[in-house]
Amino acid sequence: MLKVVLFDLDDTLVDQESAARAALLDWALELGLDLDDQDELLAAWLAVSEEAYARYSRREITFAEQRRVRVREFLGADASDEEADELFSGYLTRYEQAWRAFDDAVPTLRRVRDAGLVTALLTNGDGVYQHRKLDRTGLAAHLDVVVASGDLPAGKPDPRAFAAACEILGVAPDSVLMVGNDVVKDYQGSLDAGMRAVLLDRAGLHPEVEHRVAGLAELDLRG
């Protein structure tokens, strides 16, 4: 029997991609970077960010260090920790100002609760920082349990992340439905952990995935 719907946060409930793009382009303008090819600039930022965040998720570097790595690699700068922190703050302020929940996020969380199910979150990231995002986007009040990988031995898709979430929730994996936008971290990772899974594929990029929805309103909550 289904008891819990476990959501990812970034690009599932919160439009992280749009926030990152808006913040990066404005920050790059301030830094005097070439904006002729905005897509290429964004791709470069996302590439270094993804790799640095993966290292943080594997606990190879700290949360603060992954930010510094992103700045140094993106800008090709030999910056001290203090200089890197200052540079990153220019991006971070803009990024936080651009946070927005998807229009279907709150209605879906309400629908989950109305169905008598627990609304929970499993997100890769620092707990304090992710709670700030939930507060600012108005999502915090609609979630019963929040689990952040910064408080766990490892992040998604490591099986320990999913096992820890189930332990905190006090449920068996097969009573949990994981909903997220990442094929590896959210969908396959949760399946490997014994959960049910649905891929949120807003852009229709993964027709090969059997269980996917184009929006949260399509989510089937029948156990």
Can you name the residues that pair with 145 across neighbouring β-strands? Answer: 120
Give the C-alpha separation, 51 to 11, whole Å. Answer: 17
* Number of domain units in the chain: 2
Asked whether residue 125 is domain-assigned, the answer is yes
Do 159 and 203 fall within a single domain?
A: yes
Asked whether residue 111 is domain-assigned, the answer is yes
pLDDT of residue 58: 86
Give the C-alpha separation, 191 to 47, whole Å. Answer: 26
Contact assessment for residue 76 and residue 31, using Cβ atoms and an 8 Å cutoff: no
Taking CA atoms, 40 is separated from 30, 102, 221, in Å, by 18, 25, 39
Q: What is the CA radius of gyration of the chain?
A: 18
Do 206 and 115 fall within a single domain?
A: yes
pLDDT of residue 99: 98
Q: 127: buried, middle or exposed (CB in 10 Å: 19+, 13-18, 0-12)?
A: middle
pLDDT of residue 222: 83
Give the C-alpha separation, 102 to 97, whole Å. Answer: 15
Do 128 and 213 fall within a single domain?
A: yes
Give the C-alpha separation, 162 to 17, whole Å. Answer: 24
pLDDT of residue 125: 87
Give the C-alpha separation, 101 to 20, whole Å. Answer: 14
Low-confidence ranges of the chain (pLDDT < 50): none
> 188-208 pLDDT, tens per residue?
999 999 999 999 999 999 999
Of the candidates 90, 126, 95, 93, which has an alpha carbon nearest to the alpha carbon of residue 15? 95
Which CATH number goes with the domain that contains 66? 1.10.150
> 146-178 pLDDT, tens per residue?
999 989 988 999 999 999 999 999 999 999 999
Helical ranges in the chain per DSSP H: 16-31, 38-57, 63-75, 81-97, 105-114, 127-137, 159-169, 189-192
Three-class SS state of 25: helix
The range of the structural domain enclosing residue 114 comes to 4-15+100-218
Domain end point (choices 97, 126, 154): 97
**Half-sphere exposure (Cβ direction) of 46: Cα atoms closer than 13 Å:** 14
Contact assessment for residue 87 and residue 79, using Cβ atoms and an 8 Å cutoff: yes
Asked whether residue 223 is domain-assigned, the answer is no
Percent of the chain with pLDDT over 70: 100
Do 33 and 141 fall within a single domain?
A: no
The overall average pLDDT reported for the chain is: 96
pLDDT of residue 223: 63
Domain end point (choices 52, 67, 97): 97
pLDDT of residue 105: 98
Do 83 and 50 fall within a single domain?
A: yes
Token couple for 95: 């990024």
